[in-house]
Amino acid sequence: MTLSIAFIGGGNMARSLIGGLASRGHKPAALHVAEPVDSLREGLQSDFGVAAYGSAAAAADGAAVWVLAVKPQVMRAVCEELAPLAQAQHPLVISVAAGIGTRQLDQWLGGGQAVVRAMPNTPALLGAGITGLFANPATDDAGRERSAALLHAVGPTVWIDDEARMDAVTAVSGSGPAYVFLLAEAMTAAGIRQGLAPEAAQALVTQTLLGAATMLSQLDEPAEVLRARVTSPGGTTQAAIETFEAGGFRALVDSAIAAATERGRQLSAAHD
């Protein structure tokens, strides 16, 4: 029997997960979505054949798994609305919201719930995401396996044992694609400044990032070794790397990820 899954919130992240599940043969009829925006609801229905509802309770009723995919700001209201149903049906609850802990989610849902916190990222849209997962003590092995299998539809998963570390996961891989896009923007602008046509600069940058990421993932060698291989002594790469190092590139990346981790902590505290 296909697992029935209800998505609460039918925005970007839910769409990525639904697309991943549909492409892996999950029956669309077993996927329910609650989404208040008419055009998004219609898009989900026509693109994937899922059952879409305007109300959270209508989508969630009877589903074995609830995926909470609304913005953190509305999560409390959504959970409190669903609490009576959660108490009656005890689904496995998976939240993808940044900065909201399993303790808070469980409390808002009335207590005693199996709650898994998942932090995917936007490459999930293309099946190239990665997700950090944390399960509360009420989640049994079957719930853990179900959660990992669901998120596996959009890329590999990594279990995190200490929930406090989920803020670091968010800072590294949740927000991480934006750092790579920033690098792409900066490299493209720099290439244009050195006289390249914009289309040429963009093509060169895009394929370079893809090629480098492919090397990182397919060759069993650390980034440091791969970097050394590009860097001829006294050559062009060395000139660039020395400029990055002199400008404090590593310390800047460290501060940026520390700031994102701290923002995650503040978001959690704000919802306490």
Ligand X SMILES: NC(=O)C1=CN([C@@H]2O[C@H](COP(=O)(O)OP(=O)(O)OC[C@H]3O[C@@H](n4cnc5c(N)ncnc54)[C@H](O)[C@@H]3O)[C@@H](O)[C@H]2O)C=CC1
Ligand Y SMILES: O=C(O)[C@@H]1CCC=N1
* 261 counts as binding ligand Y under rule CB under 6 A: no
Report the residue number whose CB is nearest to ligand X: 11
**Range in contact with ligand X (rule: CB under 6 A) among 71-79, 109-117, 214-222, 257-265:** 71-79
Q: Pick from ligand Y, ligand X, none: which does 71 bind, CB < 5 to 8 A by kind?
A: ligand X
- Cβ closest to ligand Y, residue 95 vs residue 175: 175
Q: How far is the CB of 130 from ligand Y (least distance, A)?
A: 12
| Other beta carbons within 10 Å of 12 | 13
Select the span of 24-32, 96-104, 107-115, 243-251 touching ligand X (CB under 6 A). Answer: 96-104
Structure tokens at 123: 């490459």
Task: Please select the residue that binds ligand Y; options are 174, 205, 261, 268, rule is CB under 6 A.
Answer: 174
Choose the binding region for ligand Y from 16-24, 170-178, 186-194, 219-227 (rule: CB under 6 A): 170-178
| One character per residue 230-249, x = contact with ligand X (rule: CB under 6 A) | --------------------
Residue 10 binding target from ligand X, ligand Y, none, CB below 5 to 8 Å by type: ligand X
Instruction: Count Cβ atoms within 10 A of the Cβ of residue 76 and give its class: 0-12 exposed, 13-18 middle, 19 or more buried.
Output: middle
78 in contact with ligand X (CB under 6 A)? yes
**170-199: contacts with ligand X (CB under 6 A):** 174
Closest to 6 measured CA to CA, from 38, 34, 47, 36: 34
Site stretch for ligand X (CB under 6 A), options 66-74, 153-161, 183-191, 229-237:
66-74
Among 102, 139, 175, 188, binds ligand Y (CB under 6 A): 175
Min separation Cβ 180 and ligand Y, Å: 13
Rounded Cα–Cα distance for residues 185 and 70 (Å): 29
| Residue 85 binds ligand X (CB under 6 A) | no
* Residues whose CB is less than 8 angstroms from the CB of residue 268 and which lie 6 or more positions away in sequence, other chains included: 99, 100, 101, 104, 167
Which ranges in the chain belong to alpha helices (H)?
Answer: 12-23, 38-48, 56-60, 72-89, 102-108, 141-151, 166-169, 176-193, 198-218, 223-230, 236-246, 249-271
Find the part of the chain contacting ligand X (CB under 6 A) among 34-42, 83-91, 155-163, 242-250. 34-42
Size of the site for ligand X (CB under 6 A): 27
- Taking the C-alpha atoms of residue 90 and residue 29, their distance in angstroms, rounded to an integer, is 21
Closest to 31 measured CA to CA, from 68, 11, 1, 59: 59
Q: Which of 6, 69, 150, 153 binds ligand X (CB under 6 A)?
A: 69
Residue from 113, 170, 188, 261 touching ligand Y (CB under 6 A): that is 170
- Cβ pair 148, 158 in contact under 8 A: no
State yes or no: residue 86 binds ligand X (CB under 6 A).
Answer: no
Q: Which residues contact 244 (CB under 8 A, 6 or more apart)?
A: none
Give CA–CA dist 63/6, Å, rounded: 6
User: Which residues have a Cβ under 8 Å from the Cβ of 24 and sit 6 or more positions away?
Assistant: 153
> What's 137's DSSP letter?
T
Binding residues (CB under 6 A) for ligand X: these are 8-14, 34-37, 40, 56, 69-72, 74, 78, 96-98, 119-122, 174
